[in-house]
Amino acid sequence: MKILETKNLVKRFNGVHAVDRLSIGIKKGKITGVIGPNGSGKTTLINLLSGVLEIGGGEVIVDETEKLTRLLPHQISFYGITRTFQNVRLFEQMTVLDNILVVVTERNVFASLFEKHTDYHGKVAEEVLQKVGLWEKKNQLAVNLSYGQRKLLEIARTLAMKAEIYLFDEPFAGLFPEMRKIISDIIRELKRENRTVILVEHDIGLIRELCDYIFVMDEGKLLAEGAPEHVLEKRVVIEAYLGE
């Protein structure tokens, strides 16, 4: 079953096609990689799927039924989508714990006025922070974390959402092997739980290791798709992506 699809998706910036009539289908419960050279439109795709950028044309289809030509950022959690950002975006002047609690508590304005976080919210926060090894730092401000810890906190924040679809935009970039392993394990665990992961990544080794299926983008277009072991051998991919 395709949990997420794009049909002729378009995004232009000042006449330049960042995403150009892109049609892809993401299977539920799989880890799908999106690779391509810098400027190929990978992050633009993630921004379109998460409502951060306005769709310029075409549509996004969720669960094979919901056809969306307009998607706002606050609507994506309704469709079970969550994401991380290429450049980590935390709530800097808030504690590590509050960075998690803020995404698990009430969305309704008036209900949230009369809500203080409950034991349940506390347990969710503890569970995800333990998973990424940040529970001990729960009272620190996010701004004081190291780069790697910031990446982990951003991932913990998405885990707290208990979403169906996780969009991870270069989650491994600039991390030590130990932290890369934590994130790899989290991605594998999400797959075991039948959740869907879309992974934008440059590290081909990790793509081979983690992904069930990959899309290769170049200049906003789909260049190739399939199982990593097949796609990464294709001459057109090697030429465009690896420059060989």
Partner 1 sequence: MEYLIHLAILFAIYAVLGVSLNLVVGYTGLLSVTHAAFYGIGAYTTALLLTQSGGMGFFPSIALGIILTLIISFLIGLVLSKFKGDYYALGSLGFNTIAFAVFLNWHNLTRGPLGIPGISRPELFGIDFSNNLNFLMLVLVFLGLVYFASRFIVASSFGRVLKAIREDEEAIQVFGYNTLYFKLTVFVIGAGMAAIAGSFFASYITFIDPSSFTLTESVFILATIILGGLANLRGSILGALFLILLPEILRFVGFPADIAAQMRQVVYGVILILLMLYRPQGLIGEYKL
List residues binding partner 1 (CB under 8 A).
50-52, 72-74, 76-78, 82-83, 85, 89-94, 98, 101-103, 105-107, 109, 112-117, 157, 161
Tokens of 76: 């994506």
CA distance between the termini of the chain: 36
Tokens of 74: 């606050």
* Interatomic CA distance for residues 131 and 166, integer angstroms: 17
When the beta carbons of 92 and 233 are compared against partner 1, the nearer one is 92
* Interatomic CA distance for residues 200 and 196, integer angstroms: 13
We find the least distance from the C-beta atom of residue 19 to partner 1, in angstroms, to be 18
We find the least distance from the C-beta atom of residue 113 to partner 1, in angstroms, to be 4
When the beta carbons of 4 and 161 are compared against partner 1, the nearer one is 161
When the beta carbons of 132 and 237 are compared against partner 1, the nearer one is 132
We find the least distance from the C-beta atom of residue 221 to partner 1, in angstroms, to be 26
When the beta carbons of 1 and 109 are compared against partner 1, the nearer one is 109
Q: Strand locations in 55-121, DSSP E? A: 57-62, 66-68, 81-83
* Interatomic CA distance for residues 196 and 175, integer angstroms: 23
* Interatomic CA distance for residues 85 and 74, integer angstroms: 15
Q: DSSP label at 81?
A: E
We find the least distance from the C-beta atom of residue 151 to partner 1, in angstroms, to be 14
When the beta carbons of 105 and 140 are compared against partner 1, the nearer one is 105
We find the least distance from the C-beta atom of residue 156 to partner 1, in angstroms, to be 13
